[in-house]
Amino acid sequence: MKKPIISVKDLVAKYGEKTILKNISVDIYPQEVTVILGSSGCGKTTLIKNILKLYQPFSGSVKIFDKEVTSMDEQEFDDILSKIGMLFQNGALLNSLSIFDNVAIPLEQHTKLSKSVIEKMIKVKLDLVNLGHAINMVPSELSGGMKKRAALARAIALDPDILICDEPSAGLDPLTSASLDDLILKLKDLLNMTILIVTHELASIYRIADRIIFLDNGRLLFNGTLEEVKQTNIPEVKTFFEIGKF
């Protein structure tokens, strides 16, 4: 059995008095695509934020690379963060900067590489996402799909071991969404990444998922492979997949 790259055990998350996540235990395995599903407000984003130490859990454990992150200081966790890429729902590109300068941000923040090496790395990453021609453009000059690819280039700038994607297909038409899925899978294999994705897009789930985590009202309803989820009799999970079958 593979050893998990991320391991969450008995995680309880609260906002004030309100419990958002209730004793969540999940493992994320290397070089797999794990999709987190569930209705709005079920705790998907809260789970990601607890993994990324943006929130401190009320109780429980979060291990990344077999290291407990809940008790780490900022410097220790920065070392972990440098191995994690993040693709935000809206891309989160800085509109005042060129695509080159947007992709440069993690390289300038987390490395001491020379400008010439950084420039070469940026060109390689933009070529990987088919955006070499857009290096001097600004985000407002790009289509929605191109913005997502530029944000993806920035997310993989440091060759991360883990890539976390929040609703990567949101706002994209089906063809653009499918090509983004294909690109994410290609990069996963090329860079040996572990990918954790929050999405509602059933077409994407069928294309890319190895494992499914299904949350409902802060509880873990299902945790298993894509093949297993197709056989499940859990009513909420079954309904979700039946509505989206084509």
Look at residues 8, 147, 174, 4 and name the one whose alpha carbon lies nearest to residue 87.
147
Tell me the percentage of the chain whose pLDDT exceeds 70: 98
pLDDT of residue 91: 61
The residue ranges of every structural domain in the chain are 1-83+163-246, 93-159
pLDDT of residue 246: 29
198 membership: H or E segment, kind and range = strand 194-198
Task: State the pLDDT confidence band at 83, using cuts at 50, 70 and 90.
Answer: very high
Q: What pTM did the predictor assign?
A: 0.89
Nearest-angstrom CA–CA distance, 149 and 152: 5
Who has greater pLDDT, 9 or 96?
9
Q: Which residues fall within 8 angstroms of residue 154, CB to CB, at 6 or more apart?
A: 93, 102, 103, 105, 106, 125
Q: Which residues fall within 8 angstroms of residue 67, CB to CB, at 6 or more apart?
A: 80
Per DSSP, helices labelled H in 92-201 are: 99-110, 115-128, 144-155, 174-191
What is the dotted CATH code of the domain comprising 1-83+163-246? 3.40.50.300
Placement of tokens 């454990």 in the chain: 61
